[in-house]
Structure 1
Amino acid sequence: MEHSGTTRSMVADRPPDAVRLQVDGREVASYVWRSQLPASTAPRPFLHPVRTLAGCLVTDARPHSHTHQLGISIAAPDIGGRNFWGGRTFVAGHGPAWLDDHGAQRHRRWLRHTDSALAHTLQWVDADGAALLRERRSIDCAPLNGTAWILGVETRLTNATDRPLTIRSPAALGRVGAGYGGFFWRGPAATEQVRVLSPGGSGERAVNGTTAPWVAVSGRNRDGREWTMLFLAADATTAADRWFVRARDYLGVGSSLTWDRPLVLEAGARITRHILAVVADGNLGEDAAAALADAARPA
């Protein structure tokens, strides 16, 4: 299978509000903690570029087909009627539509800032600047073996309003299979021989919308360099969420906060999600992927 596309590259010129992340002295990712992007992208912090230990690129940002998809980020299409995903909003009975309903995530302060670990607070605000959510986000990088490293992303989201907030995916509004919202990885463009694996089956159709101990996506770039991204939950709560997977029109994997039913967050209530992403060189089969998942899983 060949997945190709034109990308508006953000690799060559590092944005000014970005920090490097390293594993054993090697730069493996850049975290854009304050993005200067159009309102229609639902501006938010994101990780891009992300690379294997051998330097193979495994993310994309702002491709022409989906300019609101940003490497690895936390995003949601409908929180209290505001679009924190970017792009068009899915309207029940109508379909995707361009609406002036986009929110943004704003950095507040750093809690931790090292070469391999970051933590900061954010606010999710609507177009008028009113906060809907407060967030504490942690990102850490660690070696796993000679060809793989682990990226951990933990988010704690608290309702910042005095009323219940409803979180919905397009699937909750009638778009079958589109249960996205939460942690999301946009894979690289111009990727060949894409393979999607999980313990429950292989391929997008078998994995999308399921719960599984892990999901692995492998590919090869135009230079013949092979890579694998493996995703797993770091706690039982996150493990109960369904996986959102795309491997045809674009390459992406998400861990969904909610699928086809609304999630209501009461005033002052908090939810926590923690995802681990193993970034590996090589095109790994099912046994090798399962072994990596076991090695990465918290004791």
Structure 2
Amino acid sequence: MPSHDSLVLRVAGRPVGRYVIRPELPARLAPRPCLHPVTTLAGTAVTELGPADHAHHLGVGVAVPDVEGYNFWGGRTFVRDRGPTELDNHGAQRHTGFQLCDPDGFVEELRWVAAGTELLRERRTVAATGLGATAWALDFTFSLTNVTPAPLSLGSPATNGRPGAAYGGFFWRARKEARTPEVFTADRDGEAAVHGTRADWLALAGARWTLVFAGATEDTRRDPWFVRAAEYPGVGSSLAHTERLSVAPGETVVRRIVTVVADGRPDRAEAAALVRKAVAQ
């Protein structure tokens, strides 16, 4: 069972991640449960929490910068014709309980609250599975239900006027190293070629580790990838890329991302094979 504030994910008894249930953070960082640290099977850390370049980047989790004007991402809010602006508009994700909690995964219920009002209710399902001696997979599904009596509009800095900044949804803040990580898909190389595109899988490779991300449902595969490598290492799946996403009262948005966490540097064929195995489990 988890402690009051965290639980440990394990693969075949080996710890590979800690899930922080109730992070103690200031309101402007949009407090939310997150995974950190996440490691490879060899013990190499592949996440960061509150790094100096972006204090509101919290390991692995779900964050949306604009839910009907409320910031569930943290930090400044991008305002059209004004740019990044400090606003008192931050929301928080509040853990309400686990429906299931095992060493290799959990099912969690959360409330997304802003200005004293619950906007969204989330069910989050996370599972860790082994893929061999050098890799494992993190299977992460989130379901967001509009619990208000009116439609909710989800946006991003891109939909609010900042080109190329369609972040919001699943997000993995990776480990920053001296060398910029490599980024590649089945047929593209480099941050510029991959960012904002749709691909069955996308890899981010550091000095001794590789993360391979895959959308595991049709809706998830339609979301373009948000990628950063040179400025900082991070990968996300964009809920609102060019247009805002409207969620009707009672409607549920579901996304599932499976991430292979590997030691070393798999080539394209190996990355694709690991993804196929991970999604099929």
- Both proteins in one fold, TM over 0.5: yes
1:231 equivalent in alignment to 2:218: no
Q: Indicate the SS of the match to 2:212.
A: strand
Q: Find the counterpart in structure 1 of residue 113 from structure 2.
A: 125
Q: Find the counterpart in structure 2 of residue 169 from structure 1.
A: 156
Q: Find the counterpart in structure 1 of residue 28 from structure 2.
A: 40
1:191 Cα offset (Å): 4.5
Distance in 2, Cα, partners of 1:262 & 1:284: 36
Q: Find the counterpart in structure 1 of residue 98 from structure 2.
A: 110
1:243 equivalent in alignment to 2:243: no
Unaligned runs of 5+ in 2: none
Equivalent AA in structure 2 for residue 237 of structure 1: D
Equivalent AA in structure 2 for residue 153 of structure 1: F
Match of 2:47 among 24, 35, 59: 59
1:53 Cα offset (Å): 0.3
Q: Find the counterpart in structure 1 of residue 250 from structure 2.
A: 268
Q: Find the counterpart in structure 2 of residue 3 from structure 1.
A: none
**Number of residues of Structure 1 aligned to a counterpart in Structure 2:** 279
Unaligned runs of 5+ in 1: 1-14, 221-225
8 Å CA contact retained: 2:73, 2:168:
yes
1:258 equivalent in alignment to 2:240: yes
Match of 2:199 among 198, 203, 212: 212
8 Å CA contact retained: 1:200, 1:212:
no
Equivalent AA in structure 1 for residue 17 of structure 2: A
Q: Indicate the SS of the match to 1:67.
A: coil
Residues 89-104 of structure 1 aligned to structure 2 (within 5 Å)? 89-104=77-92
Q: Indicate the SS of the match to 2:276.
A: helix
1:282 equivalent in alignment to 2:264: yes
TM-score by length of 1: 0.91
Q: Find the counterpart in structure 1 of residue 62 from structure 2.
A: 74
TM-score by length of 2: 0.97
8 Å CA contact retained: 1:200, 1:206:
no
Identity of aligned residues (%): 47
8 Å CA contact retained: 1:173, 1:260:
no
8 Å CA contact retained: 1:62, 1:68:
yes
- Root-mean-square deviation (CA, aligned residues, Å) is 1.2
Q: Find the counterpart in structure 2 of residue 153 from structure 1.
A: 140
Match of 1:83 among 67, 71, 75: 71
Equivalent AA in structure 2 for residue 140 of structure 1: A
Distance in 2, Cα, partners of 1:106 & 1:189: 28
1:16 Cα offset (Å): 5.8
8 Å CA contact retained: 2:39, 2:45:
yes
Equivalent AA in structure 1 for residue 31 of structure 2: P
Distance in 1, Cα, partners of 2:180 & 2:39: 18
Distance in 2, Cα, partners of 1:133 & 1:297: 27
Q: Indicate the SS of the match to 1:145.
A: coil
1:40 Cα offset (Å): 0.6
Deviation readout 1:268-295 (Å, 9 max, x if unpaired): 1111001101000002222221222222
